Amino acid sequence: MQVLSKMSPVPVTCLEYVHPWTQSCTVATAELMIVGVQYCLRIYAAVYALSLIMRGRIPTVPELLKTLRGWLQSTAFLTTNAFSYSIIMCTLRRVMGSFNFYTASYVPAFLAALISIMVERSSRRALLALYVSNVATETLWNILQSRGLVRSLPYGEIAIFGLSTSVLMYCYRLNRQKDYRDSMFDVVRFAIGDCEVMKPDPAPIAATPVADEPCTSSSTRARKPKFPLPFIQSVLRAYLQLTGRLKALGKHKLCRHRYGCLYDTLSSGARMFSIGLGIQVVMKAVLQMRRFIQRPALMRKTFLNNDIARLGLFLGGFTSIYKMSSCLLRHFTDSDSPMFAFPSGLLASAAFAFYSDNTIALYIMWKTLQITYNWGIEKGYLPKVPGFTVMLYAASTALLFHAATIEPENLRPSYWKFLHSISGGRICIMDRSGFDVYGLDTSGQIHKMMKLCKTEAVLQGRLS
């Protein structure tokens, strides 16, 4: 079969390609809008309800009204993106007379995303751009890899995470007066603490004096609660002795944590490991509750599996390695510098091997780029590009829609399922056979991706 160039026209109509289930472009657009509204209302209802719950208090009437407006506005944004994509494709085909490689999806998706993002609140645009850029980066890499232009590197996601985290930690340590605020800094502060922030006054914090051992005092023994089992009392006494000795160990004069370096490292790592393990346990319990009720034996297999500790090992390992390496650098160099964030961050990123994930690595990378760019603008080092966030969202979304239409095997399966749901399954029955002339086996890829969703016969019966 002859492979056409990217600009070569493909003689297919929008009836054959865009909406084969109906002959009317208007009806197809209306159907997509109705299905999109129903799906988006459900999705954003959960999102905004969760945001209210996370506040931990009963919302006021103004907060409820603001949440309601945000829910409806976000629904309008995502629905606009869905149905405007269809109508723009039909319009471009009527204006140009045919489709080509770019107008088949990328150009109409770019225009639709550009229109829809203006419907959404400006405060949410950066978050949306960050998310789609994350997925688009992975998709672009898969596209280049499928063409033989790049090759995957072993542990590439760990390298991306390590470099991005090092820059992020450097920015965090430089943020002395907290003059730049970002939610990612709050996450880092929760894990690492404020002791790694470079203070204007480098005076060290004196270690809190620790008694030789409280448990050896008779008066202290009298104040302790009595346990029914001597074993528990012995374990508690040993624990208090160990922690007391660790707290009493020395620290460098420039270290700002309260107790000794070893105690600070171990206690921070244990805390983050417990949090990671707790998150995994709760998620497993909530998501598989129905299976556990039907088959109680699965609980033992699930909660005793080594995989359940992976997130905890990553969080605890990262925190411990970063804090210990920072302390060692202060001991060896007898100084403190924001540059210590680079070796410490690279060493700590080795813990990412326990929970390596492309999505997390790319999110950290894009978040770091966003922080450095915004901070550079505030400091006057970088120029502000008007509409950069909007254009980034439109370009990234267009790439995702293009991959879903022309070469879906390069798209993240979760995003394909999202497009399938928001279109009511119509993305699967768009006839792409005319675009096989570009040599990408588009029809074959679609049939493989349809295994993730419903069969074409079920969809046709549902739409008839």
pLDDT at 251: 75
> Rounded to two decimals, what is the model's pTM?
0.79
Write the pLDDT tens digit of every residue in 5-57: 677 778 888 888 888 888 888 999 999 999 999 999 999 988 888 888 777 77
Span 300-315, average pLDDT: 85
Write the pLDDT tens digit of every residue in 46-55: 888 888 877 7
pLDDT more than 70, % of the chain: 84
Q: Long-range contacts: 118-123, Cβ < 8 Å, 24+?
A: 118/390, 119/73, 119/76, 119/77, 119/80, 120/73, 120/74, 120/77, 121/70, 121/73, 121/74
Give the best-scoring range by mean pLDDT among 97-106, 131-140, 264-273.
Answer: 131-140
What mean pLDDT is reported for the chain?
82
Domain that residue 75 falls in = 4-154+386-453
pLDDT at 175: 76
Residue 459 pLDDT class (50, 70, 90 cuts): very low
Mark out the alpha helices in 23-147 (DSSP H runs): 25-54, 61-96, 106-117, 122-146
More reliable by pLDDT, 229 or 386: 386
Residue 205 pLDDT class (50, 70, 90 cuts): very low
350 within some domain: no
420 within some domain: yes
The span from the CA of 375 to the CA of 373, in Å, is: 5
What are residue 10's DSSP bridge partners?
A: 99
Can you read off the two tokens belonging to residue 126?
A: 């950066």
Cα-atom radius of gyration of the chain, to the nearest Å?
A: 28
Q: What is the DSSP letter of 118?
A: T
Q: How far is CA 181 from CA 121, 188, 345, 390, in A?
A: 20, 12, 21, 22
Q: 371, 350, 352: which is closest to 360 by C-alpha?
A: 352
108 within some domain: yes
266 within some domain: no
Q: Cα torsion for 111, 115, 121, 127, to the nearest 10°?
A: -10
Span 284-293, average pLDDT: 79
Span 170-196, average pLDDT: 79
Question: Coil, strand, or helix at residue 371?
Answer: helix
Q: Residue 303: pLDDT above 70?
A: yes
280 within some domain: no
Question: Coil, strand, or helix at residue 207?
Answer: coil
Q: Which amino acid is at 295?
A: R
Q: Cα torsion for 212, 215, 216, 222, to the nearest 10°?
A: 140
Write the pLDDT tens digit of every residue in 290-299: 787 888 877 8
pLDDT at 381: 85
Write the pLDDT tens digit of every residue in 400-443: 999 998 888 899 888 888 888 898 888 888 888 888 888 888 87
Exposure letters 192-211 (e unless 16+ CB within 10 A, then b) = bbebbbbeeeeeeeebeebe
18 within some domain: yes
Q: Residue 111: pLDDT above 90?
A: yes
119 within some domain: yes
Write the pLDDT tens digit of every residue in 126-151: 889 999 999 999 999 999 998 888 88
pLDDT at 245: 65
pLDDT more than 90, % of the chain: 31
Q: How far is CA 449 from CA 16, 19, 419, in A?
A: 20, 19, 12
Q: Which residues contact 258 (CB under 8 A, 6 or more apart)?
A: 205, 207, 208, 264
Residue 212 pLDDT class (50, 70, 90 cuts): very low
Q: 207, 206, 212: which is closest to 244 by C-alpha?
A: 212
Write the pLDDT tens digit of every residue in 330-348: 888 988 888 999 999 999 9
The span from the CA of 261 to the CA of 245, in Å, is: 12
Give Cα 234 distance to the centre of its chain: 44
pLDDT at 390: 93
| CB-based contact 155:361 (threshold 8 Å) | no
86 within some domain: yes
Residue 218's Cβ-side half-sphere holds a number of Cα atoms within 13 Å equal to: 0
> Environment class of residue 265 by beta-carbon count within 10 Å: exposed (0-12), middle (13-18) or buried (19+)?
buried
pLDDT at 213: 42
| CB-based contact 396:56 (threshold 8 Å) | no
| Structural domain count, the chain | 1
Q: Residue 222: pLDDT above 50?
A: no
